[in-house]
Structure 1
Amino acid sequence: MLVITTIALFLTLMIGIPIAFCLALASLVALLLIGDVPLHLIPQRMFTGMDSFPIMAVPFFILAGDLMNSAGITHRILRLSTALVGHIRGGLAHVNIVASMFFAGISGSAVADAAALGSILIPAMEEDGYDTTFSAAVVASAAVIGPIIPPSIPVVIYAIAGSVSVGGLFLTGVVPGILIGLGLMVVAYMISRQKNYGTKRPFVSWHELLSSFTGAIIPLLMPLIILGGILSGIFTPTEAASVAVAYAFIIGFFVLRTLKFKDLPGIFYRSMVTTATILIVMACANIFAWLLGTEMVPQKIAAAITSFTTNPYMLLLLINLLLLVVGCFMEGLAAIILLVPILVPVAVQAGIDPLHFGMIVVMNLMIGLITPPVGLCLFVSCSLAKVDLMKLVRVNTPFLLVEIVMLMVVTYFPQIVLFIPRLFGY
């Protein structure tokens, strides 16, 4: 039964059916093969897959990000980023990376970051003499930082699937996100120097730096409010997400005054579509996860891995290789829902901290956003820059490699990840 179900899953994936329906169809095949299981189990398991209070944080974070984006905060973040790093060789490439780091604290979505920043920066980089494909590569690779630096939608999903603290897992992403950003800046600097991109510009004045920081402080306060509220115990992660929506609404309508009530239907529509996409994947994945559980697949995989090696370093290497391959073919959220219940017990048994392991999983699957054939950020950048996908993949390779190097650093030096959570008692 399990073999036929797996074949059904891969066949539906190969012919291009969306991942949620692939999982549902494969689960239906399994239930028909079992025979004595009522089919009303499918809607029942779909409902239980979404029936969780922490999941309510997902639509709220999505709506908060959409409200802030529609309020025009992108230009404020770009102005601050330009003031900070625009004078370095390859200035606009560095602006893109730093802006993605700031933007990560607002949207929590790599695809949203790539679309928002790429639509502005790719034309600007072209006008400044940068190669179009290089510009698209910077946008795609920098957008990966979005779901790593808190708040993050994939982290919320992992916390639910792995039964770990959302606040603690948020804190694990701060240092890895900064490390990836710095690594990307080093690569961008080396390529810009070699290709003579972005000639060096003068430093901005202290007055301009202060002015740009003042303009950006309003959107940058949102992640501090979210994390501060969660860590101080004032509100739960779900309540924090609703506070983020209220903050974004007040800022957009009454402080910046860039939002109008006529904008709300479009914002609500985009948020509902994104939320529905995530929730249908979670619902269908829950059916598949139930089937895996009844067949004791997690226990069998755990036994197979531990029989091969009990060395935690070797185990982490194998898991990293598995997740990097999975990220090439499966959307990150679906992979988290399916694999976390299987891999977390293996990691815990090997003595790996669940928070550390959570960041390893998230980083692996977010790197999948810039690896073909399912790399969503690559497709967004291709669409914005109108460049060939395979050419973009080649140009993006140095950025991909540095992200994998940072993944290895985070994997084998857990104190880097756990330093900040430990300060807050996690």
Structure 2
Amino acid sequence: MRILFTAHAGKSHLRLLIPLAQAAVRAGHTVAVADDESMRGESETYGLAFFPAGVDWALDPDCVAAIAPGLWSGDQEAYEDGLVDCILGAPALRAARDIIAAAREWKPDLIVREGEEMGGYLAAEALGIPHVAVAGGSTHLLTPAVTHDRLNALRAELGLPGDPDDNTAYRHLLVSWLPASWTGDGLDGRTLRHYRQTTPFRGDDPVLPWLAGLPDDKPVVYASIGTIAPSLPGKSDGVLGAVIEALSGIDCTAVVSVGVGRDPEDFGPVPGHVRLVTEWVPQDVLLEAADVFITHGGHSGIREGLRSGTPMLVTPMYDDQPHSAERCAALGCAIDLPAPFADAEAVTAAVTALLTDPAYRRRAAAVRREILACPPVERLVADLEELVAATRTSAEEASCVS
């Protein structure tokens, strides 16, 4: 089986798909990634073949015009409207045409896409092969009521007939790495299945020898605002500063990822129990060692925090982050502290509560057990094999009838 994976440019977006891609390789299947050229190196770090397709939203004029005003003004509703316009607009069509061109040579049997990446859906429909979506942070915005008419308009641009099925984007399978208690009724349930997430392996995963030397008489607090937010210091540095100030006054061992390549001196002097990290680190490893996780609420951080059973302080800024923070708080395993209110005093109070109230750890452990109870990623690979086999059988039967 040949599987083509498609995503929007961004390390965390691609990381959403990697556990499945690597499991498919282990099962003997052939795998490749189609994404913006900027993601070639990241794809190859995971050992995957690469085809350039689509655009980098941060550089695309249509996307910038749609998303930037809401992002910078803090108008979440306007931002989400602009995001949906991009997902279901011209960028998806451009990606679809690139994916179709690559697929005609590579000949995939199946396309697996990030839930918000509709170019892969359009390409699969044009090629007559099945498609599977893996739910990302903003997939909950893409209900059939939102996607149906707009996808049909994009289909027409490719010469495809309109699809009467309102679940067309998720017709075959919608995968979630998060448990049913987290997704609730925010995703279309007709083809939704939950699977147990695993940790992707990168060829350049660093070793962390200093981790073993952390004091054993203090709780460990790990803080990170992901891979994208540090590129927006106007959005992120206020939160980082408040977190560092708060952790400086808490009796703990603190590890704070401030962004790859950042200068620690930008954040002023810190006490000895606070470690500022400026290189990429395997977050899942640090979470296994942490008692509390401070995160901006990106989808990767939320998935990995829930998977490790680590109580979280979520400081959402934009995009899917407010929704994720609300869901985690509703489950009782996190405190939702929106970035505008995340000053040092508020962060201190929240971290203290997470460290001292055992209810947060109990709820985090319960959610982790729910994740562990989901079918493994190997079962998902087998389900994809069955989907492709069934599609081939249907095509053969239709050919015989005609």
Q: Same fold (TM over 0.5)?
A: no
Indicate the structure whose relative CO is greater, using CA pairs within 8 Å and at least 6 residues apart: 1
